[in-house]
Structure 1
Amino acid sequence: MGNNYTVTIPGEDVRETNTLTWKDLHAAHFAFDSPFEIPLIDDQVFSADEIIRIIPGKRLVAFGTWQEKPVVAKLFFDKKHAKRHMEEDLAGVERLRENKIPTPPIYYYGICKDKRIYILLFKRIFDAKSLHDIWLKKKNPERLLPALKGVTVELATQHVLGILQNDLHLKNFLLTRKKIYTLDGAQIELFPVLLSKKTSMHNFALFLSQLGVGTEELQMKLFNHYASSRGWLLKPEDTTELFMMIKKWNHERWLRYQKKIFRESSEFACMETWSKWGVYDRNYAKPEFERFLHDPEMAFHHATAVVLKAGRSSTVIKVTLDQQELVIKRYNLKNFWHRLRRCLRTTRAATSWRLAQKMKLFGIPTAKPVAFIEKKYFGLRGKSYYVMEYVPGEHGGSYFMRHRGEEEKVNEMVARIAKLLKNLAKLEVTHGDLKITNVLIDDQENPRLIDLDGAAEHAALSSLRAGWRKEIKRFLENFQDDPALQEKFKHALGGEKAG
């Protein structure tokens, strides 16, 4: 793409950089990550050194330099709407600035030299983290309460000023020690007066929904803080309405996300040939892993492969590919009739992938999903493979056996596992095979659910309750030889009520 030439950076290796045209950018795909330069209209140059995000055919965000200043660039190159997209983003940023809302300063905006690419250049803020990254790396949500309260006050302030972030998410906030910056002006709407209570609550519920299930106590604290910032006196029905809004947002967010996990996106890549189809996380696309995608059976003969389970219906191995420990579960077809029954149904690997992604979206611990692959025969589904990150630890049965007699430790783990199962029920999902061996205790003593191919989603509350009763009955059978532990779980799980 473009014309190659060499840029020499003092103290660094020589690297190749491209001067890109509109045609190059418009053809760039999700995997594009090469350094490049774009000449601007006044003979200045923007040099990109790290791609942050790309939406093919529309826009790209990158770190780079302009006039020797570190910047964040947004490039707009949609065939018909590039100028409008830039102007909308610019207008949103201006609305924030006019209302004294902290946002990174704009150094430059306008059209590039080829007159088809539009660009916004922002000051790059260092020593800052997005709220999204902070939340993902949390160990104790309560420790983030001060930061979350700070963002809550920022949102309340914006609502009082009539500012509405229609595309509100955790990545919209960049936090330093002293400031909270609001990013992304494209979906900002300005109202002539402060936002109504209903509109404010609806928008704030979208923010709270992204904290995941099982955070209701934290969500309530933040809602009280928001109401206090707005001078509201809350009524019981306000709390009921808020959590109904959060549930609605959870549903809408999942409907959007489940489409993303089965198609090309900045996060996922698809692989399709006449004999196989699958989706994988782009972060793992390295040489050995890519060989596995083309020949899944190679992993089962790899020098590092260790068999964890060798059953008729499935084979599970741990293997190291590209220095990354993975677990691969192959769903076997036992005979011709089994193949016939499965060939038109959703594969168990695709089910595991889908539900693991749902759990990840809503903050329910499981092994991180990496990929799934389905083999095809004349368009009919055959063997399938599900890949997840290997999580060091032990299954729940082993944990309780090892800590027998340590009352405090056992009680704490019972409470954690019970909370995990209740949070899964809040997603209207039941596991379907709730053996204690399918609860993995990681090295930080956090329980995670694995083996999701038998899980079920419930559209009706009656179905969920019936599934939950069956689930808990099955789970309690794990402890028939330990009545004291069985009683602890029975008490912690609250009998037969889902969630």
Structure 2
Amino acid sequence: MSAAPLLDTAALRAAGRAPATPFRIRLADDRLVQIERLLRVLPGKRIVGAGTLEGEAALIKLFIAPGSARHWQREVDGLAALQDAALPTPAVLTAAPLAGEGHAVLTAFLAAADPLSALWQRSPADDARLALLAPALALLRRAHAAGLVQSDLHLGNFLASDGQLWMIDGDAVERPQAPGAPLSGAAATANLALLLAQFTPQWDEQAARCLHTYLAAGDGPAVALPQLLHEIERQRAARLADFLAKSGRECTLFQVRRSATRFSAVLRDQADALAPLLADPDAAIAGGRLLKDGRTCTVAQVEIAGRARVVKRYNLKHLGHALSRCWRHTRAWQSWREGHRLRFLGIATPVPLALLEARLGPLRGRAWLVTEHCPGVDLLTHLDPQREPPPAEARALRELFAALHRARISHGDLKATNLLWHDGEVVVIDLDAMQQHDSAASHARAWARDRARLLRNWPAGSALWRWLEANLPPA
């Protein structure tokens, strides 16, 4: 069998997001590292993969950007700080410059390791998730007592292997206090909130139990629940703003393409499958099953790689309509962003897969949105106006409107046909007019309109109308 190609940092930078594996790279001391499988790639900056060093299995982190020594040194120092604090982290096999330029850190490879994020997704019940989170909270308490914070704290930076939870990613480990001193209460609160802000707002009800588990893990900084909840809300808002900004630019999650005549954004893991559709979305609509054909929009169900998708084209009714909209974000853009906002907040809506806009320089024209297809039935059909909703639907309706109200989100066109019952959830669709409000007063006015529009779907005084009137957040 021929040896894997020997590359250097220039070749790896040129390879972008998809360097071919396996490949070898030489350390400055002439030893050869081989990467068999990619785990993460930051194009032109960093490559993380599984491979070997002189036959020994290793997790390999390559720093390939010009001037990468600073990040490499942070990784080395962070891993050393975790080890000095007796926190479980994989042993460093070597940390060395690469031949020519760039740097590498190799750590012991954890066999059959599961990121805590994957275990979390497989355990939907709250009690099961709290049990998974408990050892991570205990490790975080120990880190804080040792004066350490993890500035990129998320479940993916904890690995479960052979009954042990491990902390990884030394690049994000910092020591803001003097060596040997524990974190301040404010710093510990902020770092714990960074972890808990990863979860949906509905999970904030478990914050008190998480804090109890964290505090029970040993001595350390004082953290109080009111300050923790405030910090969770602040950090979640910052994460949401960052995530929505990413939905419109090239990054790990999204593939974005711009030219003088078009703009497209697509979930990166869907880009190849959706490429033919995005090349000619009108042909896809013409070949699909027409769901709606109106003046303002045309909607069709299509099949892509054996999976049902929905394509929605936002039409321009006439020249005046086109001129009035050409300087503004398209309705497809609005739906794209609001769909991702709802998903981030744990509110059910079909996954937005792709956005396409026809442009002429800065001017916007027609636009298309591609989403997953939800096979649910709309609430106008599903609910009997002469009866209160069944228990499952009642619970889902209360949870949905509580979540929207808590986030100050208004829908803008709250017809019952824009709410689908599917798989135990009320799924929200048609997000063209959705808005998250900055002020309580603005949201209150919009919610009053939304509430009135929803109630108009059913006869005033009917059993369902009375139930909604009693259970919806007040106007």
Candidates 272, 275, 287, aligned match of 2:258: 272
The answer to whether the 8 A contact 1:271-1:279 is kept is yes
The aligned counterpart of 1:11 is none
The aligned counterpart of 2:424 is 445
- Unpaired runs of at least 5, structure 2: none
- Unpaired runs of at least 5, structure 1: 8-16
Higher mean C-alpha displacement, 119-128 vs 271-280: 119-128
The answer to whether the 8 A contact 2:49-2:59 is kept is yes
Change (3 A) 1:154 1:75: same
Whole-Å separation in 2 of the counterparts to 1:479 and 1:453: 23
Whole-Å separation in 2 of the counterparts to 1:215 and 1:28: 41
Candidates 31, 34, 43, aligned match of 1:47: 34
Quote the offset at 1:199 in angstroms. Answer: 1.6
String of CA shifts for 1:52-72, please: whole Å, max 9, x gaps: 222222211122233333322
The aligned counterpart of 1:107 is 93
The aligned counterpart of 2:415 is 435
Candidates 198, 217, 221, aligned match of 1:210: 198
The aligned counterpart of 1:163 is 148
The aligned counterpart of 1:77 is 64
Whole-Å separation in 2 of the counterparts to 1:309 and 1:140: 38
The DSSP-based 3-state class of the residue aligned with 1:383 is strand
String of CA shifts for 1:315-371, please: whole Å, max 9, x gaps: 111111233321111111111111111111100111111112222223222211111
Q: Are 1:250 and 2:236 matched, yes or no?
A: yes
State the identity as a percent: 28
The aligned counterpart of 2:297 is 314
Quote the offset at 1:99 in angstroms. Answer: 1.5
The answer to whether the 8 A contact 1:213-1:364 is kept is no
Candidates 271, 276, 283, aligned match of 1:291: 276
The equivalences for 1:88-127 within 5 A come to 88-112=74-98, 114-127=99-112
The aligned counterpart of 2:435 is 456
The DSSP-based 3-state class of the residue aligned with 1:269 is strand
The aligned counterpart of 1:222 is 210
The DSSP-based 3-state class of the residue aligned with 1:102 is coil
Q: Are 1:57 and 2:44 matched, yes or no?
A: yes
The DSSP-based 3-state class of the residue aligned with 1:494 is coil
The DSSP-based 3-state class of the residue aligned with 1:214 is helix
The answer to whether the 8 A contact 1:90-1:185 is kept is yes
Whole-Å separation in 2 of the counterparts to 1:177 and 1:421: 42
The answer to whether the 8 A contact 1:33-1:51 is kept is no
Change (3 A) 1:180 1:341: same
Quote the offset at 1:32 in angstroms. Answer: 4.5
The answer to whether the 8 A contact 2:386-2:462 is kept is no
The answer to whether the 8 A contact 2:327-2:362 is kept is no
Residue identity opposite 1:69 in structure 2:
E
Quote the offset at 1:231 in angstroms. Answer: 6.2
The answer to whether the 8 A contact 1:349-1:453 is kept is yes
The aligned counterpart of 2:469 is 490
Quote the offset at 1:79 in angstroms. Answer: 0.8
The aligned counterpart of 1:10 is none
Candidates 111, 116, 119, aligned match of 1:134: 119
Quote the offset at 1:404 in angstroms. Answer: 8.5
Candidates 368, 371, 374, aligned match of 2:354: 371
The aligned counterpart of 1:466 is 445
Aligned residues: 472
Quote the offset at 1:233 in angstroms. Answer: 12
Q: Are 1:19 and 2:6 matched, yes or no?
A: yes
Change (3 A) 1:327 1:65: farther
The DSSP-based 3-state class of the residue aligned with 2:347 is coil
The DSSP-based 3-state class of the residue aligned with 1:300 is helix
Change (3 A) 1:221 1:490: farther
Quote the offset at 1:390 in angstroms. Answer: 1.8
Whole-Å separation in 1 of the counterparts to 2:6 and 2:420: 50
Change (3 A) 1:33 1:460: farther
Residue identity opposite 1:66 in structure 2:
L
Whole-Å separation in 2 of the counterparts to 1:18 and 1:392: 48
The aligned counterpart of 1:337 is 320
Residue identity opposite 2:401 in structure 1:
L
Whole-Å separation in 1 of the counterparts to 2:244 and 2:402: 22
Candidates 288, 307, 329, aligned match of 1:324: 307
Q: TM-score, normalised by structure 1?
A: 0.88
Q: Are 1:411 and 2:387 matched, yes or no?
A: no
Change (3 A) 1:165 1:437: same
Whole-Å separation in 1 of the counterparts to 2:420 and 2:27: 54
The answer to whether the 8 A contact 2:255-2:271 is kept is no
Quote the offset at 1:116 in angstroms. Answer: 0.6
The answer to whether the 8 A contact 2:185-2:221 is kept is no
The answer to whether the 8 A contact 2:378-2:419 is kept is yes
String of CA shifts for 1:93-139, please: whole Å, max 9, x gaps: 11111211111222222122x33121111222233322223334443
Whole-Å separation in 1 of the counterparts to 2:284 and 2:196: 41
The answer to whether the 8 A contact 1:418-1:489 is kept is no
Whole-Å separation in 1 of the counterparts to 2:379 and 2:115: 35
The answer to whether the 8 A contact 1:375-1:382 is kept is yes
The aligned counterpart of 2:131 is 146
Residue identity opposite 1:456 in structure 2:
Q
Residue identity opposite 1:492 in structure 2:
N
Q: TM-score, normalised by structure 2?
A: 0.92
Whole-Å separation in 2 of the counterparts to 1:209 and 1:266: 21
The answer to whether the 8 A contact 1:299-1:319 is kept is yes
